[in-house]
């Protein structure tokens, strides 16, 4: 019989226990006992190994690429690596796992991470778009599918959800989050964690999630990626941290820290954030992975003189695992021996990593996620249906005049125009995992698939959006000059009853490192739009984009505007569902659309200031050359029917700290078709120990109504909803008056007041 090593004996014990009583597997006490037993067997070198993550995009069976892969392979065999990223496929993960399982002393299995941000093979809307559905069940479902497709390809850990509240449309990564509001982002965070992880992490169809980027990454100065963040304690606690706390409470397995510094301290080396708030105050027991290389990047930040010092700062601050930074592997053992890092901290970090591995079921079966049969079980057709469903729910109708939408029978000749009209790649978006290039249903295809055969569809691209090669790595060069396709587009448009124009952003204009100072219709698109408008004003503008755009001219001139984002694999079919009226649009913006880029960062939940703008002083806290409010505010979105809000009522005008009150409003469908409305509840604390936002989202409910039907919607408001991070530096409510604001977007709201008595 092959000789079993120490851990082998130990694990044999685990198998026996599990066989007798499967429920023990998930019991917390049992996991802790196992973790402690494994830790007790480990040398310091092996412990540090668990805190090291390697990028694995090299051919494991072949020669080394540009880096020292032979060394990496040797380290895997020696048990000096805890996790890898970018190792994809059942075969590749099995190969890598085998290096560890067949060679290392303790055979502690690896985790395999990957950026599965909006789907693995089946691509769903980019996160900002999907949030516009406000459909938490749908968002949980898409995470569940992404987890299944990942697990079937050997990946057991996603670096998602990104729950950085972000309010600056210049920042390219705004597409990757849930927008400007902490409450909505928190709800999405929980739905995503549940979807990826299910109730039981050891379920081979679910994977570990990672709440990122902890913290403040969405607030980079001037919208520049990786940039310095200047926010105070009040903003940190009231705006940035709530989604992370919600994810921690929902049991997210890991956190990822961030590239930025926060008030002078890099997030990766931020002890208050990681050790005090996350691990102590929130009592969270998963592990924190650094962002890619963010530990050695503290050298460039100027807070560490070398990798060794960076490793010391990061570990002491509570960063548990070093993603491809090479700092922990080169320095931690020495730092412990020199007394610069305590072994207790190392033990704590290792236990956190082991805990997640046990919960994932990897100690029971290191190849649990390298199972080729799972892929066979997947119905990609079914996943496509889900992708279409969530994509149509994510579309936001911004404007609909001249009764252009849904497309009428009188529109017998439709011209489809624009650089994105037949683009099968841009809807896949950035952060596309294994979504195949050019695999989306384009808008043109969607219309051809879904519109009556009697309608004549003609197509002209008009212009290219980008020039040359498009890639994840390089910024896109925009076509600023070539208008050779204009003439054909103008002729096509002039003969049509209706023009559908698809304009916006290329997939690689948003995403990491894709900040822009201009957020209008890039290149020659604006000119193309204006030229077409001269010959035919019956235009439906379909926007395909990852960030809020500056579309002021279009909003003043174009009769119908549909925000269709980058909607993923089924994009064109979903847009067609809305345009032809098979689906009545119900999406609402999760982020404000500005009138001008100079308004950024722009968000509805601003502070009042001491000089709020008013009818006499319109420029107070605003601008002299532009209005200060949004062109399309947070929460905004139209329907093919009309909704009327009537009679906001409170059950009482006073509330006790242990009581609650109900706020009710009647919603009526006053139009001709059935429709869905997302009713939104906002609160305002009128006088408090710190300044407070002029309104904050605190609840929402989706209501479907037939024409003429009405329904009373009731929200329960309790003391917890009135709490905030106060001048006492803790979460509490304060007595006094509050406004209740309810309506269909953050601007058009009915108001009532009540007071909290303590």
CB count in 10 Å sphere of residue 182: 25
Q: In this structure, are residues 110 and 82 in contact, taking their beta carbons and an 8 Å threshold?
A: yes
Distance from C-alpha of 346 to C-alpha of 279, rounded to nearest angstrom: 14
CB of 102 to ligand BGC, least distance (A): 28
Calculate the CA dihedral of residues 300, 302, 303, 309 and round it to 10 degrees.
Answer: 50
Look up tokens 């008056």; give the residue.
Answer: 737
Q: Which of residues 442-481 bind ligand BGC (CB under 6 A)?
A: none
Q: Which tokens is 478 given?
A: 């925009």
C-beta of 196: minimal distance to ligand BGC in Å? 14
Q: How many residues bind ligand BGC (CB under 6 A)?
A: 6
Interacting positions 273-302 with ligand BGC (CB under 6 A): 291-292
E strand or H helix at 8 = helix 6-20
Task: Output the residue with the shortest Cβ distance to ligand BGC.
Answer: 159
289 vs 428 by CB, closer to ligand BGC:
289
Q: Which of 291, 348, 577, 685 is catalytic?
A: 291
Q: Is the peptide bond before 406 cis (omega within 30 degrees of 0)?
A: yes
If we measure between CA atoms, which residue out of 238, 328, 338, 322 comes closest to residue 288? 322
For the bound state, the minimum distance from the C-beta of residue 514 to ligand BGC, rounded and expressed in Å, comes to 12
Residue 163 or 528 having the CB closest to ligand BGC: 163
DSSP lists the bridge partners of residue 208 as 157
Out of 34, 52, 99, 115, point to the residue binding ligand BGC (CB under 6 A): 115
Please give the angle made by the CA atoms of 174, 620 and 183, to the nearest 5 degrees.
35
Let me know: does 221 contact 228? Beta carbons within 8 Å.
yes
Residue placing its CB nearer to ligand BGC in the complex, 33 or 55:
55
CB of 159 to ligand BGC, least distance (A): 3
Whether 574 and 447 have beta carbons less than 8 Å apart is answered as no
Of residues 119-138, which lie at the interface with ligand BGC (CB under 6 A)?
none
CB of 114 to ligand BGC, least distance (A): 8
291 versus 505: smaller Cβ distance to ligand BGC: 291
What part of residues 559-588 is at the interface with ligand BGC (CB under 6 A)? none
d(CA 514, CA 174) in angstroms, rounded, equals 10
Q: Name the maximum alpha-carbon separation found in the chain.
A: 90
What is the rounded distance in angstroms from the CA atom of residue 689 to the CA atom of residue 611?
18
Site string for ligand BGC, 476-515 (x = CB under 6 A): ------------------------------------x---
Please report, as residue ranges, which positions from 211 to 230 form the binding site for ligand BGC (by CB under 6 A): 212
Return the residues of window 194-213 that contact ligand BGC according to CB under 6 A. 212
Min separation Cβ 43 and ligand BGC, Å: 29
Q: Which SS3 state, helix, strand or coil, does residue 514 take?
A: coil
Sheet with 710-718: strands ordered across: 643-650, 660-669, 710-718
Gap between the Cα atoms of 420 and 281, Å rounded: 48
Under rule CB under 6 A, residue 159 binds ligand BGC: yes
Closer to ligand BGC by Cβ: residue 159 or 645: 159
Residue identified by tokens 């003439």 is: 487
Which of 159/725 has CB closer to ligand BGC? 159
Closest CB to ligand BGC among residues 261, 291? 291
CB of 505 to ligand BGC, least distance (A): 20
Instruction: Identify the CA nearest to 429 among candidates 9, 115, 127.
Output: 127
Using left for φ > 0, alpha for ψ between -120 and 50, and beta otherwise, residue 304 falls in beta
Q: Does 322 bind ligand BGC (CB under 6 A)?
A: no
Smallest gap from residue 322 Cβ to ligand BGC (A): 13
291 part of the active site: yes
Question: Which residue, 115 or 149, has its beta carbon nearer to ligand BGC?
Answer: 115
Tell me which residue of 588, 744, 567, 560 sits closest to 669, measured CA to CA. 744
Site for ligand BGC in 505-564 (CB under 6 A): 512
Catalytic residues: 291
Q: Where on the chain is the footprint of ligand BGC (CB under 6 A)?
A: 115, 159, 212, 291-292, 512
């Amino acid at each position: 019989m092959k000789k079993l090593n120490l851990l082998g004996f130990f694990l044999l014990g685990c198998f026996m226990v599990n066989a007798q009583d499967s429920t023990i597997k998930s019991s917390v006490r049992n996991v802790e006992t196992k973790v402690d037993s494994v830790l007790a067997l480990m040398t310091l070198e092996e412990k540090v190994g668990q805190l090291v993550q390697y990028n694995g995009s090299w051919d494991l069976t072949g020669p080394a690429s540009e880096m020292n892969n032979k060394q990496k392979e040797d380290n895997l065999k020696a048990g000096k690596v805890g996790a890898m990223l970018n190792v994809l496929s059942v075969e590749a993960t099995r190969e890598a796992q085998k290096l560890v399982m067949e060679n290392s002393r303790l055979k502690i299995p690896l985790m395999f991470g990957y950026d599965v941000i909006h789907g693995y093979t089946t691509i769903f809307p980019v996160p900002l778009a999907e949030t516009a559905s406000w459909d938490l069940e749908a968002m949980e479902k898409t995470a569940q599918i992404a987890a299944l497709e990942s697990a079937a390809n050997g990946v057991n850990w996603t670096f998602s959800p990104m729950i950085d509240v972000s309010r600056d449309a210049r920042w390219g990564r705004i597409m990757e989050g849930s927008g400007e509001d902490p409450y909505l982002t928190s709800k999405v965070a929980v739905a995503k964690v549940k979807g990826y992880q299910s109730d039981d992490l050891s379920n081979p169809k679910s994977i570990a999630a990672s709440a990122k980027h902890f913290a403040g990454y969405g607030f980079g100065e001037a919208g520049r990626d990786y940039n310095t963040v200047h926010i105070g304690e009040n903003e940190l606690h009231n705006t940035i941290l709530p989604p992370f706390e919600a994810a921690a409470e929902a049991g997210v397995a890991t956190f990822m820290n961030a590239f930025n510094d926060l008030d002078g301290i890099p997030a990766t080396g931020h002890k208050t954030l990681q050790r005090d708030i996350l691990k102590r105050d929130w009592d969270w027991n998963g592990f924190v992975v650094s962002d890619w290389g963010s530990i050695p990047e503290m050298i460039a930040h100027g807070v560490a003189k070398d990798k060794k010092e960076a490793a010391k700062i990061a570990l002491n601050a509570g960063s548990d695992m070093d993603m491809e930074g090479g700092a922990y592997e080169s320095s931690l053992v020495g730092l412990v021996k020199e007394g610069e890092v305590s072994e207790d901290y190392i033990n704590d970090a290792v236990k956190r990593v082991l805990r997640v591995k046990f919960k994932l079921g990897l100690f029971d079966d290191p190849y649990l996620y390298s199972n080729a049969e799972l892929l066979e079980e997947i119905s990609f057709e079914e996943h496509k249906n889900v992708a279409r469903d969530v994509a149509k729910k994510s579309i936001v109708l911004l404007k609909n005049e001249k009764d252009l939408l849904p497309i009428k029978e009188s529109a017998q000749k439709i011209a489809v125009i624009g650089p994105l009209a037949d683009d099968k790649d841009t809807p896949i978006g950035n952060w596309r995992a294994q979504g195949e290039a050019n695999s989306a249903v384009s808008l043109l295809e969607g219309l051809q698939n879904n519109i009556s055969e009697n309608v004549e569809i003609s197509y002209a691209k008009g212009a290219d959006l980008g020039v040359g090669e498009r890639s994840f790595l390089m910024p896109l060069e925009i076509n600023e000059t070539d208008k050779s396709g204009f003439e054909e587009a103008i002729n096509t448009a002039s003969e049509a009853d209706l023009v559908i124009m698809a304009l916006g952003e290329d997939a690689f204009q948003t995403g990491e490192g894709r900040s822009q100072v201009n957020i209008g219709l890039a290149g020659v698109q604006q000119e193309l739009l204006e030229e077409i408008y001269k010959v035919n004003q019956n235009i439906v503008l379909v926007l395909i984009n990852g960030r809020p755009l500056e579309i002021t001219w279009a909003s003043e001139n174009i009769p119908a505007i549909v925000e269709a984002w980058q909607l993923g694999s089924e994009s064109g079919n979903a847009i067609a569902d809305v345009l032809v009226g098979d689906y009545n649009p119900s999406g609402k913006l999760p982020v404000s659309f500005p009138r001008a880029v100079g308004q950024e960062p722009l968000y509805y939940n601003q502070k009042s200031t001491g000089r709020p703008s008013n009818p006499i002083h319109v420029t107070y806290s605003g601008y002299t050359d532009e209005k200060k409010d949004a062109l399309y505010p947070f929460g905004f979105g139209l329907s093919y029917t009309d909704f009327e809000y009537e009679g906001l009522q409170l059950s009482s005008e006073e509330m006790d700290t242990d009581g609650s009150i109900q706020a009710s409003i009647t919603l009526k469908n006053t139009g001709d078709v059935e429709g869905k409305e997302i009713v939104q509840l906002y609160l305002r604390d009128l006088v408090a120990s710190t300044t407070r936002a002029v309104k904050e989202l605190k609840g929402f409910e989706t209501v479907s109504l037939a024409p003429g039907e009405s329904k009373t919607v009731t929200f329960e408001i309790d003391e917890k909803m009135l709490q905030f991070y106060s001048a006492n530096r803790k979460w509490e409510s304060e007595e006094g008056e509050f406004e209740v604001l309810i309506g269909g977007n953050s601007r058009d709201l009915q108001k009532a007041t009540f007071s909290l008595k303590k």
